[in-house]
Amino acid sequence: MNPKKVFEKIELPNVKNIIVIASGKGGVGKSTVSANLAVSLARQGFKTALVDADLYGPSIPMMFGVQNERPVGGMKDGKEVIIPIEKYGVKMVSIGFFISAGQSLIWRGPMASNGLTQLFRDTDWGETDYMIVDFPPGTGDIQITTVQKLNLSGAVIVTTPQEVAISDARKAASMFINPDLNVPLLGIVENMSWFTPANHPDEKYFIFGQGGGEKLTQEFNTKLLGQIPLIMEIGEGSDKGMTVYNQSNKSMIDAFDTLSQSICEILSVKA
């Protein structure tokens, strides 16, 4: 059975590229990568959208400082649509906009899949060059539904250098290249590659080990799209709705600019 033939596709004709950001386990900074990648693309002049597909643990609203906002409804071509929240030039939707803070989402797999489908299908995205999809960790219903229903441009795997993270990232990468799914693997992002103290920006401490991301790229014959350092102030800023571009750490800005430019080169999209 070929899963890509089971479900009717969601047509998003005005969205040129859909990129999913995935990881094998939680805690590797996947949402941080998704948020800052989206902002980096928007800063380069691309029309950018961001879908928070982590229905059970949505974090994008907080990372953009818009957790208290609620999307409004509208009409387009005779149908009701969701008008996405926009900040830093990024249009975004998240289940977090529709539930109270601290409220848990108690949905079985089919309900979660239907809810995710609505976020994609019923939102007025307008003309979009890049849609970034922040996946939950793992290889479950949300990932499978997205692959089945959308025409994806590719997947980016986020990992840390730790062997336990590499082991789980390997499983995530294997899912996308499965012949029944066959999603292009754009490359690997190694997050928390080293720790750099704020007062000593030239120092690097490899507290999670070295070479994990490169090892994964060799296994899957793909690219190392970027290495993101671990900087405490960046994590603190994310909790306050600040991206790396609202802060002054040049190494982080350079890292995300390199990441977004690498993806642009792979997909050969021009603003």
Structural domain contains residue 134:
yes
Structural domain contains residue 181:
yes
| pLDDT tens digits, 208-235 | 999 999 999 999 999 999 999 988 777 7
Domain of 133, in residue numbers:
15-267
- How far is it, in rounded angstroms, from Cα 60 to Cα 54? 9
pLDDT at 1: 35
- How far is it, in rounded angstroms, from Cα 24 to Cα 171? 6
* Burial class for 185, CB neighbours closer than 10 Å (0-12, 13-18, 19+): buried
Structural domain contains residue 158:
yes
Structural domain contains residue 161:
yes
Structural domain contains residue 187:
yes
Structural domain contains residue 180:
yes
Tell me if the pTM is above 0.75.
Answer: yes
Structural domain contains residue 153:
yes
Average pLDDT, the chain: 90
Structural domain contains residue 5:
no
Domain count, the chain: 1
Q: Give the CATH number of the domain where residue 66 resides.
A: 3.40.50.300
Closest by CA position to 34, among listed 57, 11, 14: 57
